[in-house]
Every structure is written in structure tokens, then in C-alpha cells.
Amino acid sequence: MLYIISAALAAYLIGSVSSAVIISKAVYGEDIREHGSGNAGATNMMRIHGKKAGAAVLLCDFSKGLICVAAAKLLTVYGGAPWATVFVAGFFAQLGHTFPVFFGFRGGKGVATAAGAAFAIMPLTALLLFALFAVIVGAFRFVSLASGVCAALYPLLAYFLNGKEYFVFAACCSALMALSTFQISSACLTAGKEQISIEYGFIAVAFPKRTAAAIFYCNLL
């Protein structure tokens, strides 16, 4: 139990280091959460500050999930920690990214961090999702749509390729992405932005400001 609690705390703190907020403030003198979709993630950074900024955030966020899970794996091999420690580390890294303690609990959707954790835990499943993501982005030029489809399929692939315990982990990660998406979209509504992006499941729709109050958010998971 001590291993699990320690892994959860360490992963949450690492996940709470929001590269998007840090880079946007240090390099551009502004908070990325106040611009675009309001998401502290790679896609919003790319939209606002370009591909290099987006790539830097993507690498940092992906690495958070990967490093936390890799460290937890080492604990299971050399420290005798239970395998559940690995799942806990992956989930709490994503939780920290979504609700970062260092930045007022306002983070991103956690897609890249979840991807890093998935790659470390179940590489085949992650590679299949990466391939699907690339195909959808290439076909539709819509990152949010690709992220939503992959998040919806993640638990199913985890179940069929890895097993029930992996399904539970993947389902929790996908549910957290859904929650964070709803939170960010609600914040945009409250702020009265001109366009609100609802990005999840199989739908990505932009609603005008005056009709935003009529949004029905559907979580397909």
C-alpha cells in the first residue's frame, strides 16, 4: 500500500507540472489557458503559438506519463511493488495534468500524458491508437476528432489486447479526458468566448456564442 500511495503522490506532482502554462508564460508572456480553447495542451499551443511550441508541449506532456509509468515499473521489478502501482502512476500523472496543484487545478485534457502512460504500459495498444490518430488527422485535419475517437476506442482495445485490468485502467483514463473536456468547455461558456469547442466522442462541433447555452454534452464512454 505504501508503494501505491507514494506512486500516486509522486505521479500527481509530476503531472501537475504544466509545460503549456510554463512555456506560454516564460516565452510568450501570457497564459495559454486564456486563449483559444482554454486548454493547457499541445493542440492549443500549436494553434496560438505555432508548431514548435506545440511540439515542445507535446513532448513534455507525453514524457510525464511515460516517465511515471517507467519509474513504477522499476519499483515492481526491483522494489517488490504490486503491479497495480503501474496503473496508479499512469492515472495520477494524467490527473495531475488535468487538475494541476501548481496552477490552480486548471490544466489540459491529458491526451498526450495518457498516451505516454499507455505506451509504457501496453505498447501495442498505444501504437494502434497512434496509427488511427494519424489516419484521422490526415484525412480530416481535425486533431480533436482524432483524440475523441481514440479515447473512445482505448478501453475496448485495452480489453481485447491486454485484459480486464487494463480495460479498467483505460476506461478511467478516458473518463478523465471526458471530464476535463467538459470542464474546459464549461469554462469557455462562462467566459463568453465567441466559439466553444466541444471535443469528445465522435463529435467536434463549434457553437456560436448566442447558441452555446443550448449545448448538450454527450459522453459516449
Q: For the chain, what is the mean pLDDT?
A: 85
CB 33, CB 105: distance < 8 Å: no
Kindly report, residue by residue over 176-211, the tens digit of the pLDDT. Answer: 998 887 766 565 555 555 444 444 333 334 444 433
Q: What would the mean pLDDT of 129-155 be, rounded to a whole number?
A: 91
Is the pLDDT score of 52 beyond 50? yes
pLDDT band at residue 145 under the 50/70/90 scheme: confident
The region of weakest confidence among 64-68, 188-192, 210-214 is: 210-214
pLDDT band at residue 11 under the 50/70/90 scheme: very high
Is the pLDDT score of 31 beyond 60? yes
Is the pLDDT score of 1 beyond 90? no
Q: What is the pTM of this model?
A: 0.82
Model pLDDT, residue 13: 97
Q: What would the mean pLDDT of 97-110 be, rounded to a whole number?
A: 93
pLDDT band at residue 68 under the 50/70/90 scheme: very high
Domain boundaries of the chain, sorted by first residue: 2-214
CB 25, CB 31: distance < 8 Å: yes
**Nearest in space to 11 (alpha carbons), one of 113, 103, 104:** 113
